[in-house]
Amino acid sequence: MRDTRRLRLPRLSIRSLPGLLAALLLPLGLLTPAAAAASPPDATAAADPVRIMPLGDSITGSPGCWRALLWNRLQNAGHTGIDFVGTLPPQGCGIAHDGDNEGHGGELVTNVASQGLLPARLAATRPDIVVMHFGTNDVWSNVAPDRILAAYDTLLAQMRESNPDIRVLVAQLIPMNPATCAACAQRVADLNARIPAWAAGAHTSRSPVVVVDQWTGFDTATDTYDGVHPDASGDEKIAARWFPALAAQLGSAPGDPGDPGDPGDPTLTCTASFRSVSVWQGGYQAEVTVRNTSAVPVRGWTVTLRPADGARVTQVWNGALKSAADGTATVADAGWNGALAPGASTAFGLIATTPAGPAAPAATADCAATPAS
């Protein structure tokens, strides 16, 4: 049997402690505070990571697997100096990632604003960037867009009080078409139509507000499992839309091909692909996806669009439209969506009018890229 008797050590008097500590610390050069203060700081210490808060409701947090896809896409692009933050822990997905988040299932953005819930969450996490997809439950509850945007104002003011230099990416919400809310689809469209103007009024050079279009090209029939929450396909689309906007805020990562240390003057290329979204008598809605096919980042892009069969582009969102007399439309990036990492893409939507006829929407699209400065 093991001997369990306690080993008795000689008792030290308090007076002997200083001498003992001095003897222990002497070989380490730590005898005096002055000597410690004279040591130079560690020049190799890593910079603090950029703290990114995913903010929203169950689409963000329960389990919000687009966050895992976005995290890994950023890591693979060389953006390793980041930290996803939030008071909520990871909630599954089966993919290794930084799962901290602020996606509270069932929350209304109007309640978070009126009940003052955000300041404590900001104080606990201190984000530099907020990625916000928030308002789906408000839309489902038939809260008016004016009230939702007023809540955005409140949350933005609280963010800036926490960090005057905070950067905010705000989503135009993914579509909704739940079986129990026939009006939700139009309500989302009505809110999304108001968000760009809200963001433009809220934007400052010190604390930019960037709109990310999560609505265009998202199909509730194939990209959700219940008309509201994204499935695997939807998660991929959401992550793909967040990535270029967030990467632009992070700048070139050390391993990016666009690192200033890379020699040469690479050719800049981009592509533009046209896709019909919906058609009606006398017009249609379409989406154009712009992709950076260069080996380096681009700062901006311009698409030249030539609609077929006499169609005329009359409205564009997420881009700046100029129209020629022959129907050619030139669409430049909207500023916030101009910067694209290699392989990254963004999209803009458009409305076109058409002469009477059965022809399907079509257009040729050419893309020109602007080099990153």
pLDDT tens for residues 267-288?
678 889 999 998 888 899 999 9
Reading the block at residue 307, the tokens are 């609609």
pLDDT tens string 178-188: 999 999 999 99
**Nearest of 339, 331, 336 to residue 363 by alpha carbon:** 331
For 83-100, letters b (16+ CB in 10 Å) and e give ebbbebebbebeeebbbb
Confidence at 46, pLDDT banded by 50, 70, 90: low
Average pLDDT over residues 26-50: 47
What distance in Å separates the CA atoms of residue 47 and residue 86, rounded to the nearest whole number? 20
For 287-310, letters b (16+ CB in 10 Å) and e give bbbbbbbbbbbbebbbbbbbbeee
27: DSSP letter: G
Residue tagged 């793909």 (tokens):
240
**Nearest of 286, 276, 292 to residue 348 by alpha carbon:** 286
Query: Is residue 45 predicted with pLDDT exceeding 70?
Result: no
Dihedral over Cα of 275, 280, 282, 283: its sign: negative
Query: Is residue 104 predicted with pLDDT exceeding 90?
Result: yes
Reading the block at residue 373, the tokens are 């400065």
- Please tell me the predicted confidence (pLDDT) of residue 171: 95
CB atoms < 10 A from the CB of 176, how many? 24
DSSP 3-state of 94: coil
Cα separation values, 4 from 7, 8, 10, 11, Å: 9, 12, 19, 21
Cα separation values, 114 from 107, 108, 150, 166, 253, Å: 12, 10, 10, 21, 39
**Report field, pTM of the whole predicted structure over 0.75:** no
- 63 prior amide bond cis, ω within 30: yes
What is the share, in percent, of the chain residues with pLDDT greater than 70?
Answer: 82
Confidence at 220, pLDDT banded by 50, 70, 90: very high
Q: Give the distance from CA 66 to its chain's centroid.
A: 10
